[in-house]
Amino acid sequence: MIEQLRAILGDDHVLTGQQIARWTQDWTGAYHFQPLAVVRPANTEQVSAVVKLANRTGTPIVPVSGNTGLTGGTRADGAVMLSLDRMNAIRDIRPDARIAIVEAGVILSTLHDATEAQDLIFPLTFGAKGSAMIGGCLSTNAGGSNVLRYGNTRDLVLGIEAVLPTGEVMTLMSELHKDNSGYNLKHLLIGAEGTLGIITAAVLKLHTKPRAYATAMVAVPSLNDALTLLNRLQEATGGGVEAFEYMPRAYIEGHLAKFPDARAPFDQTFDVNILVEVGATAPRDCTVGPDGQTPVASYLEEVLADMFENGSILDAVVAHNHAQRAEMWQRREVAAEIALAHSPIVNNDIAVPIDKVALFLEQIEARMPALDAGATAITVAHLGDGNVHYTVWPTSLDPVVHDAIMEAVEDVVLELGGSFSAEHGIGTSKLPSMRRRKNPVALMAMRAIKTALDPNGILNPGKVLPD
């Protein structure tokens, strides 16, 4: 098998032994594995040839991009790990059409830089943007901080190219905003975590770069007051709120413990802290006035001042320069590092209706002492879209206790009409949740699709679908 792979790719791009050390665990360090080899194809034709070989020989293939996932989606014991890191070309950026045509190995921050040079943005963003790759973002339907305004990854894709489990290349590189010609196979593969095909290229939607931002840290008495603030700002800015991030007191304390040189957001501590950012593109909202302030910043400050007067806001700090804005965002974007500062963890990535986030937290925290009396939780949330990262630091090392905590989270989430998986995907770690909670008929349909496209079960086996 190794020799045949080398015949396809060349000796330098089939790695074994000590060469694959950095591909033997996931980013969290929770999963360790030993691939048969790591292959690094340079183009779609080579990906196709590798997959055809694997399909003939029944060899499992595990695709990997930046390997920044949090659910064990790249476990690859005995498998050929197919890295897309060499397929990193930005083929074209077309400003008039607001599209970028990219290969799967393009790093997200690299695309950000390239589009910014054209006065455009690709709005998908999250803490791992400096290493996450487009292929992985599409395979997990990544979310991030700007979903409120721009949607998930799936909403930012016009077309894809993918290699199916048989090695055939499916070219759906549409640049169309409307294409109603049959099943939407693009959306089938986006979010499938590499189990139905290996995405090799994509046509992505770009957006006008905001000419001005208004960013602030805001302390409010409750999450209900936070939603009032969100709705007031959406009305005042015509839907211009890009991010609305919740960081409770425990998270702020965790941030200061992990980064002792960092500053607290306020002079005193508060239970409910919100990072809010509004982006403006219209000249009327971006032009600096005689007072040296942009109208979009004035909108934000007017809403904050009014709510402060009626007691709906306890304190606020508005960023007046790029450094202050970057400091606020650094506090939010290191969430994964803060959550992983302790071991073990029970990592939950859930979604509930936005007006039920407070109820979720209230109910799960009431149940936690009966499961592990000393457990603590580090919570951070994309409050604007109801996505809560509820990470539990248990005192018990017993996996049975950890699973009971996750089951309790699932119970509360489903009672509130939510989902046990919001943006991180299923991978390996959420297979028990899929087994317990996913609608059986939906699982049956998913297995039928998997069997039809991948009859030999070679693509990322053991992920997404429980046995």
pLDDT over 90 (residue 467): no
Examine the domain organization and report whether 186 and 46 are in the same domain.
yes
Residues 216, 198 share a domain:
no
Residues 317 and 229 both lie in one domain: yes
**pTM of the full predicted structure?**
0.94
> Last residue of a domain, which of 311, 335, 359?
335
User: In the chain, pLDDT over 90 holds for what percent of residues?
Assistant: 96
**How high is the pLDDT of residue 37?**
97
Question: pLDDT per residue over 363-384, tens digit each?
Answer: 999 999 999 999 999 999 999 9
Does 101 share its domain with 137? yes
Q: Is the pLDDT score of 290 beyond 90? A: no
Res 75: pLDDT: 95
Is residue 162 pLDDT above 90, yes or no?
yes
For residues 194 and 254, membership in a common domain is answered with no
pLDDT (0 to 100) of residue 133? 98
Residue 77's CB is within 10 A of a number of other CB atoms, namely: 14
User: Does 84 lie in the same domain as 15?
Assistant: yes
**Structure confidence at residue 292 as a pLDDT band (50, 70, 90):** confident
**Predicted pLDDT at 194:** 98
pLDDT of 341 above 90: no
Kindly give the interhelix angle for 223-237 and 295-309, rounded to the nearest 10 degrees: 140
* Interval 201-250: pLDDT, tens: 999 999 999 999 999 999 999 999 999 999 999 999 999 999 999 999 99
> Do 125 and 204 share a domain, yes or no?
yes
Asked if the structure places residue 196 within a domain, the reply is: yes
CATH number at residue 363: 3.30.70.2740
Of the residues 162, 185, 209, which one is the last residue of a structural domain? 209
Say whether both 224 and 169 belong to one domain: no
Mean pLDDT over residues 40-55, rounded?
Answer: 98
Structural domain contains residue 11: yes
Residue pLDDT, tens place only, 406-423 = 999 999 999 999 999 999
Mean pLDDT rounded to a whole number for the chain? 96
**Mean pLDDT, to the nearest integer, of 427-443?**
96
Q: Would you state the pLDDT for residue 139?
A: 97
Do 200 and 278 fall within a single domain? no
If asked whether residues 74 and 195 sit together in one domain, one would say yes
Same structural domain, 82 and 190: yes
In this structure, what CATH number is given to the domain that contains residue 103? 3.30.465.10
Q: How many domains does the chain have?
A: 3
pLDDT of residue 29: 87
In a domain, 450, yes or no: no
Residues forming beta bridges with residue 213, ordered by sequence position: 279
Query: Tens digits of per-residue pLDDT, 98-127?
Result: 999 999 999 999 999 999 999 999 999 999
Q: What is the pLDDT of residue 135?
A: 97
pLDDT digits (tens, 9 = 90+) for 4-31: 999 999 999 999 999 999 999 998 888 9
Question: Looking at residue 16, what is its pLDDT?
Answer: 96
Domain ranges, residue 281: 212-335
